[in-house]
């Protein structure tokens, strides 16, 4: 029994994506998963429908929050947007690496200024490289001239030199990014994770949890394999077990 309890302990390396469209649906999932999950991703669908109440609820229940809005605008606008969500107490914030060096630097600078004013820990800034829904054909259709992996590595290198804390990238690029970054404190947050028992859905560049960690990922974002499972707690336990045994 002690071994089972250890296996099923929440792990901050597992981030569950709350890809739902209402506060009530979010609350039901969080309440059901209870102490199994410590970290949640709030994306556009939930944030645009339920707003900052989602963040407050998660923080009140002792959870960490990855706010995934993929900010992409002029540096001043992104900087002030980051300042606003920093005040909510989020732990991770995404911007698009394609926004460029000045935009990423503004995001990091405003996060630090606001956190220092509040006397709280600065949220970490992650740069999104290429969305995991792209395959080679789709990438060429939007004007991608370099192969996806090369473009991801270029964006990741730019993000690192711009001073952000890490990137969001598929597990297929995690190994080359880790080799480029050369240190473990540069975060590689990986969506497109599908355990062996789950369907691939619309993700193209995917991997299992154990393979993603072996390739250099720091944290995994998993949604539907848990949130749409018949038994979300059972699915979460299986994934936590795989993380513990292989990462």
Q: Is 41 a catalytic residue?
A: no
Return the structure tokens found at 135.
């395959």
pLDDT of residue 12: 94
Q: CA torsion, points 191, 40, 77, 21, in degrees to nearest 10?
A: 90
pLDDT digits (tens, 9 = 90+) for 22-41: 999 999 999 999 999 999 99
Catalytic: which of 27, 41, 63, 70? 70
Return the structure tokens found at 15.
């981030």
pLDDT of residue 1: 38
210 CB-side CA count, 13 A: 9
Tell me which residue of 204, 107, 210, 86 sits closest to 149, measured CA to CA: 204
Is 0.75 surpassed by the pTM of this model? yes
CA 91, 93, 95 angle in degrees (round to 5)? 165
Any idea which of 6-15, 28-37, 75-84 has the lowest mean pLDDT? 6-15
Look up tokens 């370099």; give the residue.
146
Any idea which of 85-89, 199-203, 226-230 has the lowest mean pLDDT? 199-203
Indicate whether 204 pLDDT > 70.
no
**Kind plus residue range of the DSSP H or E element containing 181:** helix 171-181
Asked whether 8 and 32 are in contact (CB, 8 A), the reply is no
pLDDT digits (tens, 9 = 90+) for 107-133: 999 999 999 999 999 999 999 988 777
As a whole number of angstroms, the distance between CA 169 and CA 216 comes to: 11
pLDDT digits (tens, 9 = 90+) for 47-71: 999 999 999 999 999 999 999 999 9
């Amino acid at each position: 029994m002690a071994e089972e309890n250890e296996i099923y302990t929440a792990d901050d390396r597992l981030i569950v994506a709350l890809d739902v469209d209402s506060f009530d649906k979010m609350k039901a999932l969080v309440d059901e998963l209870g102490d199994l999950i410590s970290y949640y991703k709030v994306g556009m669908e939930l944030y645009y429908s339920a707003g900052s109440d989602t963040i407050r609820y998660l923080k009140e229940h002792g959870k960490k929050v990855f706010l995934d809005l993929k900010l992409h605008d002029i540096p001043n606008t992104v900087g002030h947007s980051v300042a606003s969500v920093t005040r909510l107490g989020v732990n991770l914030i995404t911007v698009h690496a394609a926004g460029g060096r000045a935009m990423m630097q503004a995001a990091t600078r405003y996060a630090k200024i606001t956190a220092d004013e509040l006397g709280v820990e600065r949220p970490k800034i992650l740069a999104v490289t290429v969305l995991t829904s792209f395959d080679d054909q789709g990438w060429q259709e939007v004007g991608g001239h370099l192969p996806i992996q090369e473009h991801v590595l270029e964006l990741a290198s730019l993000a690192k030199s711009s001073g952000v804390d890490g990137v969001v990238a598929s597990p297929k690029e995690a190994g080359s990014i880790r080799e480029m970054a050369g240190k473990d404190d540069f975060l590689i947050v990986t969506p497109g994770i599908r355990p062996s028992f789950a369907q691939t859905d619309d993700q193209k560049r995917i991997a299992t949890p154990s393979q993603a960690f072996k390739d250099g990922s720091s944290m995994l974002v998993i949604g539907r394999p848990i949130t749409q499972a018949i038994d979300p707690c059972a699915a979460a336990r299986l994934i936590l077990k795989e993380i513990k045994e292989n990462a």
